[in-house]
Copies of this chain bind each other. A is one copy, B any other.
Amino acid sequence: MTSYSESLSTIIDASNHMLDELLHYKKPHNLYIPLNYMLSNKGKQIRGVFALLSYQMFCGDDFNDFKDIVLAIEALHNFTLIHDDIMDNAHLRRGKSTINKKWSNNQAILSGDLLLIQSYKHLLNSKFSSLEMYNEFNHVAVQICEGQQLDLDFQFKKEIKREDYFSMIELKTAALIQLSLSIPLYSNHLSKQPLKTDLSVNHNRKIMKKIGLSLGKLFQIQDDYLDLYGKKSAIGKTVGGDILEKKKTFLYAEACRLSTVQQKKDLISIYHSEDSNKIKLVRELYMQLNMKNITLTQIKKLYLEVFSLISKLKIADHKKENLIEFIESVLNRNF
């Protein structure tokens, strides 16, 4: 168990309690049971906690006012997970069977649909919203679909370029982290506060979005790394699952770029085979190419970017402490 400072614990507890409101005990039970099953297994709620941290930094401590926005973001995120798990034919999520495996693909389609609707329901219920916030939310929801499309398209490509990989994760993963970190700064309420000028709001919003972009990439590359080099108990998924599913990860894109003609030929061939030994074979090739260290170096680079950006926020340093502590805790998982 990670132990948090009291101040950060308060925020994480708040997020935890809020998420219970996504559970519904209504009829038809067959619709709500799979969704409750998925949502009860909460995970780290990174996006909800980010939104709350940002709210605390720029707006105030009355988290309850911001609840519907947190729920909108977490519902949107969990909707994407449910549908991605169908498309990836994934069996495990957060250490438990996915809805598509425990019930069926059809059930998972419907669970995801309902959750996307719930996401908008909360967004529209929030007294904290603004037209600008709605536009940003919609824009990000579309970006996530576009990123998922690129990811699907990668299944049919033998080789992907580094920049294609980054285009995909910026849309599929980073866009929502950017939204989570910047969304309180789209609220109408902000400009009413006498000490906040529009200028500083715009500056901080821009920086928070940049932090989200770097962090989103960092998290995704870390996910790619942990899928192969993490522990099953910690990641809640099959180790090497990305290789089995022929996912085009950071490791794969970089390995293609850095390999000799022969190594690349071998990698592409093994990666797209159904060889029962393929995880081991790919791991060996990655070792020859030093992929573990190359990936850790990239993670380190993004990490430094994030902290350089945090220093640029126009806000008292003590107000950044919870955000920094939370980022560190997420990054230190499973290493």
Contacts and interface: CB of A to CB of B under 8 A. Distances in A.
Given A83-B109, A138-B124, A146 B116 contact: no
Interface string A223-266: 00000000000000000000000000000000000000000000
A117 interface: yes
Interface string A114-143: 101110110010000001001100100110
A124 B134 contact: yes
Interface string A49-87: 000000000000000000000000000000100010011
A134 B127 CA distance: 13
Interface string A127-171: 000010011001001100110111011000000000000000000
Given A87-B109, A106-B87, A112-B113, A30 B149 contact: yes
Contacts of A295: none
7 contacts: A28-B149, A31-B145, A105-B105, A109-B109, A112-B113, A117-B142, A124-B131
Given A106-B152, A110-B152, A120-B138, 19 more contacts: A27-B146, A28-B150, A31-B146, A31-B149, A86-B106, A87-B106, A87-B109, A107-B152, A109-B112, A110-B145, A113-B113, A114-B142, A116-B116, A116-B117, A117-B141, A117-B145, A121-B138, A124-B134, A124-B135
